[in-house]
Structure 1
Amino acid sequence: MTEYGYFLSCEEFTPGELIDQARQARRAGFTRLAISDHYHPWNEAQGNSAFVWSVIGALSQAVDLPVTTLVTCPTVRLHPAVTAQAAATSSVLLGGRFALGVGTGEALNEHVHGDAWPSFETRAEMLEEAVGVMRELFTGALVSHDGRHYTVDNARLYTAPEERVPVYVSAFGPKAAELAGRVGDGFVTMTPDTELVGSFRENGGAGKRVVGGVKVCWSGDRDKAVARVHRLWPTELLPGELAQILPTPAHFEQASELVTPEMVASSVTCGDDVEEHVEAVRAYARAGFDEVYVGQIGPEQEAFFDAYRERVLPALHG
């Protein structure tokens, strides 16, 4: 049975707003939380990018919902040994209700040390090695590792997770879906793509969780909602690998000039048509997703949570 959670966007909201949204999500009937992990927002209009591990610590004291990162890159900006410590502490604070979603990352967030941005093939190798290192550390054992991409010298997590930390691997293409099936405890993708889910299942993912997310903009004024999405999240509609290779918010703003309001109107669920919202989310359930996270774009958070509590979530569960 599909579970429905709320997606917290660190790029668009302040830490305090994210905590308030988490509380509202709990009251509205969402049963899980997901949270993005960024160093930069996608564009200047979003205007935020809090350190996700601090926010997760605050969430653990504010609500009793499970939390999943969607997604963390444990390979460049943070060494996997440091990411493992952050994830282990998050799991302890959340009483085991934590899952680590990981991916090969975007230059937008990972270039900040000035390192060259690797090819996808190299990044996939790095991710696979990083997942292995983190799993060893999660046991609380003393770990030394001398690999192709990472060295770990006598590292031990003294605050080790009491529960197993599931590692969900993000993928947007067949090669990455195969990687997710081979090394992940679950699969993260942002479109209800049955072929991609099938590729994951056929390559070691049978019986593992499939996780997705969708952004919407609930508003009584559909035109205003479309304009809001076009201003804040045109990056959702950029094609190909641009999201992985562009290095700064300014570059994303330049690329987003290709995205028109008409493209937003035809691709993103905007307005207050309950059936449109239900169908946008239900598409993931039909595609075999176990968890779906819905994120509300813009400031009308209270109206969104009221509508989902009273109308959308009951229809999804009905």
Structure 2
Amino acid sequence: MVQFGYTMMTEQAGPRELVSHVVAAEQAGFDFSVSSDHYFPWLASQGHSPYAWSVLGAAAQATSRIPLMTYVTCPSIRYHPAVVAQKAATMQLLSEGRFRLGLGSGENLNEHVVGTDWPAAHVRLEMLGEAVSIIRELFGGDHVSHHGTHFDVVDAKLWDVPGDQVPIGIAVSGERSCELAGRSADLVIATEPKRELLDGFDRHGGTGKPRVGQLPVCYDPDRDAAVARAHDQFRWSVGGWRVNAELPGPASFLQATELVRPEDVAESIPCGDDVDTFVEAVRPYAEAGFTEIALVQVGGDHQQPFFDWAEKTLLPALRDM
């Protein structure tokens, strides 16, 4: 059976609000949760970007059932993989086994802040593969030294290692990332309902492993208000990941989306309160073979009405799909 999750969108709410949101998601009956890990919002109108790992630690203490996951962390530029390993192990202990580490090759939007050049896509994928190897080795609890193409690790050791090793997910967008995920990940992550991505994951060793998708939605009893909010805060999503990974900041996304109309956004993001419209937006993910689907409710100030509606209307409809 497909599971349905809730996204803590760090770009659209402050840290205390994000924790209260995931508590409400647990109470509403969502099966799991994920959190973005950003330094910048996509657009200045979103208005937030707290440190995701502090939020996750607080969420682990404020909840008791709902699984937590990064969606996704880049372990190769802004963070060193040895530090990511320590953070993930600590989260697994704090959450008592409810944490999964979602990893990706990053976006210039967030990684440029440390002042390094933005590598080409194939280099970023190489870096991600090397980082995953380092993280897995550190999860074993032994002293680790590593001198590789992209990273050095000198006599590192995790002193607090969970009994249940942290599952690692890898975000995919093409054949090379599918190969890495199939070979190295415990689950696959994607933001588009493309069956070919899951098939690529399976070809390289992913058969039988979880596959997690994500899509934005914008609930509001006033559909016009929902469309306007989705356009204001989420029109960046129409650019696709090949573009979104390269732009360096909110001003660039503002310029790149000047010609995107509200009706363009409404074609890709279900808006309003017609539950059938939301179900039909989710259906392609289920039909493609995703076993878990995380929803992003657009608008940081519009979460509680969404939880009330999701508990009573949306989640039952999705489970009947």
**TM-score bucket (shorter structure):** over 0.9
- Assess, with a 3 A threshold, how the Cα gap between structure 1 residues 185 and 303 changes in structure 2: closer, same or farther: same
Alignment coverage as a number of residue pairs: 318
SS at the partner of 1:257? Answer: coil
Contact 1:219 1:225 in 2 (8 A): yes
Q: How does 1:52-71 map to 2 (within 5 A)?
A: 52-64=52-64, 65-71=66-72
SS in 2 for 1:30: coil
Further displaced range: 9-18 or 280-289? 280-289
Give the CA deviation at 1:278.
1.7
The one-letter code matched in structure 2 to 1:70 is Y
Q: How does 1:1-318 map to 2 (within 5 A)?
A: 1-64=1-64, 65-239=66-240, 241-298=242-299, 299-318=301-320
Partners of 1:101 and 1:229 in 2: how far apart?
25
Q: Per-residue displacement from partner, 1:205-247 (whole Å, max 9, x unpaired)?
A: 1111100111100011111111101111111111452211111
Q: CA deviation at 1:161?
A: 2.0
C-alpha deviation, 1:124, in angstroms: 0.6
For 2:72 and 2:285, locate their aligned partners in 1 and report how far apart those are by CA, in whole Å. 18
Partners in 2 of 1:16 and 1:195 — Cα distance? 39
| Superposition deviation, residue 184 in structure 1 | 1.3
Aligned-pair distance for 1:31? Answer: 1.6
Q: 2 CA distance for matches of 1:159 and 1:118?
A: 33
Q: TM-score, normalised on structure 1?
A: 0.98
Q: Distance in 2 between matches of 1:178 and 1:133?
A: 18
Give the AA of the match of 1:29: G
Deviations 1:158-179 (A, max 9, x none): 0112211111000122222222
Please give the per-residue CA displacement for 1:102-124, whole angstroms capped at 9, x wherever unaligned.
00000111111111111111111
User: CA, structure 1 residues 123+9, in 2 after alignment: closer, same or farther (shift >3 Å)?
Assistant: same
- Cα distance in 1 for residues equivalent to 2:290 and 2:180: 18
- Give 3-state SS (helix, strand or coil) of 1:45's partner: coil
One-letter identity of the residue aligned with 2:5 = G
Aligned residue type for 1:44: A
- Kindly provide the CA deviation profile for residues 26-71 of structure 1, in whole angstroms up to 9, marking residues without a partner as x: 1111021100000111111111111111001100111121101000
2-structure distance, mates of 1:27, 1:278: 21
Matched letter for residue 263 of structure 1: D
Shift of 1:136: 0.6
Taking the aligned partners of 1:37 and 1:239, their CA distance within structure 2 comes to 18
The one-letter amino acid of 2:84's match is T
CA distance in 1, matches of 2:242, 2:316: 37
Q: CA deviation at 1:282?
A: 2.9
What SS does structure 1 have at the residue aligned with 2:304?
Answer: helix
Which one is further off, 258-267 or 150-159?
258-267
* Matched residue type, 1:36: S
Bigger mean CA offset, 294-303 vs 48-57: 294-303
Q: Secondary structure at the match of 1:55?
A: helix
Structure 1 outlier segments of 4+, above 2 Å: none
Deviation string 1:292-316 (CA, Å, 9 cap, x unpaired) is 1111111222221111111111122
- Deviation readout 1:187-217 (Å, 9 max, x if unpaired): 1001111121111111211111100111100
For 1:109 and 1:63, the matched residues in 2 are separated by: 28
After TM superposition, give the deviation of residue 277 of structure 1 in Å: 1.1
> Gaps spanning 5+ residues in structure 1: where?
none
Contact 1:238 1:259 in 2 (8 A): no
Counterpart of 1:278 in 2: which secondary structure?
Answer: helix
Q: Determine the C-alpha separation between the residues in 2 that align with 1:160 and 1:134.
A: 12
Instruction: Give the Cα separation in 2 of the matches to 1:239 and 1:278.
Output: 22
Distance in 1, matches of 2:298 and 2:240, equals: 20
Quick one: percent identity of the two aligned structures?
A: 47
What CA distance in whole angstroms lies between the structure 1 residues aligned with 2:243 and 2:235? 13
After TM superposition, the score normalised by the length of structure 2 is 0.97
Preserved CA contact (<8 Å) 1:197 1:210: yes
Query: The residue matched to 1:217 in structure 2 has which SS?
Result: strand
One-letter amino acid of the counterpart of residue 52, structure 1: A
Q: Report if aligned partners of 1:40, 1:48 keep a CA contact under 8 Å in 2.
A: yes
- d(CA) in 2 for partners of 1:266 and 1:43? 20
* 1:240–1:301 Cα change, 3 Å: closer
